[in-house]
């Protein structure tokens, strides 16, 4: 029996974004696994959950017993389904799947049922401070071969528009929901009238609207035939998705903020969304993700795993292994990498002409240079964009 000998959290920020990777070493010389545990805003807490709680729990356990380890670890602290521990457990889970693939001599997608497609279609982010600038950036994505593009105008909620604040207003990233909504409608009018209908367009509302405004916004967007509207509501208001469904056929995506099955179950079983946007490490890794794929298939829902800059290349590789082996794959978020990431990680899935491909190595196919990782220390800062405020200074869900 091959057992777990060591478990460590590797913290690194090659692109200036805090990443957490778990490395599991085994009793088999040279056999190790890597997993993504990236919760960028709470990387120190995740590292402690790994080193101080999971490591003593895991040392000496059979590396092959992934399900039993996942289930017992998840309840080892009795309280469960929290973001920090879910990410820590994800790093362990993905590393164990990596090891199982290496033992079997197979890429993880083969362990999940094999390929349904050679590559996964990907979307890229286009942004800009005006509808014309967004249009130019969408065209640039099309020239790179992308056929799916996420379109934002001032990242989330819009920015730099005129805001009348009260005296002595506190610091924050101010936005006006109505100005944001009107601007996005104008932006899509411009994009559809100048670029046309061949490109699939996505928009991420990032929970910036009140529920009733979100319903109206989704309805107004219907004529632009989006591929999907993402995060129309915050996780605390998921009951309002019923009203969105009653008022519009705009396809709906939700999930990057989810940690607890009680958040996604009503949306899936009620067929209230079309794409599940889970950040895989936020729910605990491959083990829960593969169960979610089957659940979504039963309800006609497709996958669109979260793939921003705050996922490590190990997590991106997991997304791609899940993408190519799921019959109900929808689309994969993919924004590419800066050169520095390649100084630390090798085997990153390659993207070409609007598709991303898993590498064919056993396991997840990623390795990392720990010495190089140490060259890029993480920084414990609160991202400014999380301090969203309405014009009167009221804090808003970011």
Question: How many residues touch ligand GCO (CB under 6 A)?
Answer: 8
Active site residue 32: no
Write down the catalytic residue from 32, 125, 203, 206: 206
C-beta closer to ligand GCO: residue 26 or 40: 40
Which of 333, 283, 280, 287 is closest to 307 using CA atoms?
A: 333
Q: Choose between 256 and 274: whose C-beta lies nearer to Mg ion.
A: 256
Residue whose token pair is 């478990």 = 7
Write down the least CB distance from residue 190 to ligand GCO, Å: 22
Q: In this complex, which beta carbon is closest to Mg ion, that of residue 111 or of residue 126?
A: 126
Within 277-306, which residues bind ligand GCO (CB under 6 A)?
Answer: 306
**Near Mg ion in 80-109, by CB under 5 A:** none
Q: How many CA atoms lie within 13 A of 337 on its CB side?
A: 24
Q: Return the exposure string of 255-287: e unless at least 16 CB atoms fall within 10 Å of the residue's CB, then b.
A: bbbbbebebbeebbeeebbbbbbbbbbbbbbbb
Interface positions, 30-49, toward ligand GCO (CB under 6 A): 40
Question: Min. distance of Cβ 90 from ligand GCO in angstroms?
Answer: 15
Rounded Cα–Cα distance for residues 261 and 348 (Å) = 30
The contact mask relative to ligand GCO for 233-272 (x = CB under 6 A, - = no) is: -----------------------x----------------
Give the nearer residue to Mg ion in terms of CB position, either 12 or 152.
152
Count of C-beta atoms within a 10 Å radius of residue 297:
14
**Cα–Cα distance measured from residue 61 to residue 323, given in angstroms and rounded to the nearest whole number:** 30
Of the two residues 70 and 123, which places its CB atom closer to ligand GCO in the complex? 123
Residue with tokens 């994505």: 141
User: What is the distance between the alpha carbons of residues 363 and 54, in angstroms, rounded to a whole number?
Assistant: 22
Residue sitting closest to ligand GCO (CB): 308
Stretch that binds Mg ion, among 68-76, 218-226, 255-263, 354-362 (CB under 5 A): 255-263
Site residues (CB under 6 A) for ligand GCO, limited to 327-346: 333
Name which of 102 and 306 has its Cβ closer to ligand GCO.
306
**Which DSSP state fits 21?**
E
- Residue 84 contact partner, candidates ligand GCO, Mg ion, none, CB within 5 to 8 A by sort of partner: none
Contact 27, 387 (CB under 8 A): no
CA–CA distance, 209 with 215 (Å, rounded to integer) = 9
* 206 makes contact with ligand GCO (CB under 6 A): yes
Give me the torsion for CA of 290, 293, 294, 298, rounded to 10°. 170
* Phi, psi angles (nearest 5°) of residue 245: -60, -35
Residue count of the chain, please give it: 398
- Per partner kind, with CB cut-offs from 5 to 8 A, the member of ligand GCO, Mg ion, none near residue 310 is ligand GCO
Question: In terms of Cα–Cα distance, which of 292, 347, 368 is closest to 108?
Answer: 347
Q: Which one of Mg ion, ligand GCO, none interacts with residue 128, CB within 5 to 8 A by kind?
A: none
The SS3 of residue 111 is helix
Burial 205-241 (b: 16+ CB within 10 A, else e): bbbbbebebbbbbbbbbeebebbbbbbbbbbeebebb
Q: Is 207 in the site for ligand GCO (CB under 6 A)?
A: no
Q: Does the annotation mark 161 as catalytic?
A: no
Tell me which of 123, 146, 156, 175 is the catalytic residue: 156
For Mg ion, the binding residues in 174-213 under the rule CB under 5 A are 204
> Does the footprint of ligand GCO cover residue 204 (CB under 6 A)?
yes
Pairing relationship of beta strands 148-151 and 200-204 according to DSSP bridges: parallel
Residue 148 near residue 199 (C-beta atoms within 8 A): yes
Binder of residue 131, out of Mg ion, ligand GCO, none (CB less than 5 to 8 A by kind) = none
Q: Give the interface size with Mg ion as a residue count (CB under 5 A).
A: 2
Determine contact, residues 6/24, Cβ cutoff 8 Å.
Answer: yes
Evaluated on CA atoms 87, 91, 96, 98, the torsion sign reads positive
Tell me how far, at minimum, the Cβ of 315 lies from ligand GCO, in Å. Answer: 11
Among 84, 207, 310, 323, contact with ligand GCO (rule: CB under 6 A): 310
Identity of the residue, 204 or 274, whose beta carbon is nearer to Mg ion in the bound complex: 204
Instruction: State the catalytic residues.
Output: 156, 206
Residues at the contact surface with ligand GCO, assessed by CB under 6 A:
40, 204, 206, 256, 306, 308, 310, 333
Residues at the contact surface with Mg ion, assessed by CB under 5 A:
204, 256
């Amino acid at each position: 029996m091959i057992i777990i000998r060591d478990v460590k959290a590797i913290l690194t920020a090659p692109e200036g974004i805090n990443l957490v990777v778990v490395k599991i070493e085994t009793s088999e010389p040279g056999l190790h696994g890597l997993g993504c545990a990236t919760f960028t805003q709470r990387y120190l807490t995740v590292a402690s959950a790994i080193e101080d709680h999971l490591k003593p729990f895991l040392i000496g356990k059979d590396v092959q017993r992934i399900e039993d380890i996942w289930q017992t670890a998840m309840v080892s602290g009795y309280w469960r389904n929290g973001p920090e521990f879910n990410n820590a457990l994800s790093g362990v889970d993905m590393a164990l799947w990596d090891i199982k693939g290496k033992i079997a001599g197979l890429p993880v997608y083969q362990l999940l049922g094999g390929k349904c497609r050679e590559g996964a279609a990907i979307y890229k982010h286009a942004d800009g401070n005006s509808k014309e600038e967004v249009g130019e950036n969408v065209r640039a994505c099309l020239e790179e071969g992308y056929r799916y593009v996420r379109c934002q105008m001032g990242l989330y909620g819009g920015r730099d528009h005129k805001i009348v604040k009260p005296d002595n207003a506190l610091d924050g990233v101010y936005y006006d929901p109505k100005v944001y909504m009107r601007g996005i409608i104008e932006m899509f009018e411009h994009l559809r009238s100048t670029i046309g209908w061949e490109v699939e367009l996505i928009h991420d509302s990032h929970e910036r609207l009140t529920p009733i405004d979100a319903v109206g916004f989704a309805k107004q967007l219907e004529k632009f035939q989006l591929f999907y509207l993402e995060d129309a509501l915050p996780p605390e208001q998921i009951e309002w998705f019923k009203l969105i469904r009653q008022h519009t056929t705009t396809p709906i995506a939700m999930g990057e903020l989810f940690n607890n099955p009680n958040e996604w179950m009503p949306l899936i079983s009620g067929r209230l969304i079309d794409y599940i946007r889970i950040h895989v490490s936020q729910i605990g890794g491959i083990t829960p993700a593969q169960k979610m794929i089957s659940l979504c298939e039963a309800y006609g829902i497709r996958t669109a795993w979260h793939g921003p800059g705050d996922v490590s290349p190990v997590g991106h590789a997991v997304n791609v292994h899940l993408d190519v082996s799921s019959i109900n794959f929808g689309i994969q978020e993919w924004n590419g990498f800066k050169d520095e990431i390649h100084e630390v990680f090798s085997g990153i899935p390659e993207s070409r002409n609007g598709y991303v491909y898993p590498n064919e190595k056993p396991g997840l196919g990623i390795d990392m240079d720990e010495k190089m990782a140490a060259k890029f220390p993480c920084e414990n800062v609160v991202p400014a964009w999380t301090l969203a405020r309405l014009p009167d200074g009221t804090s808003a869900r970011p």
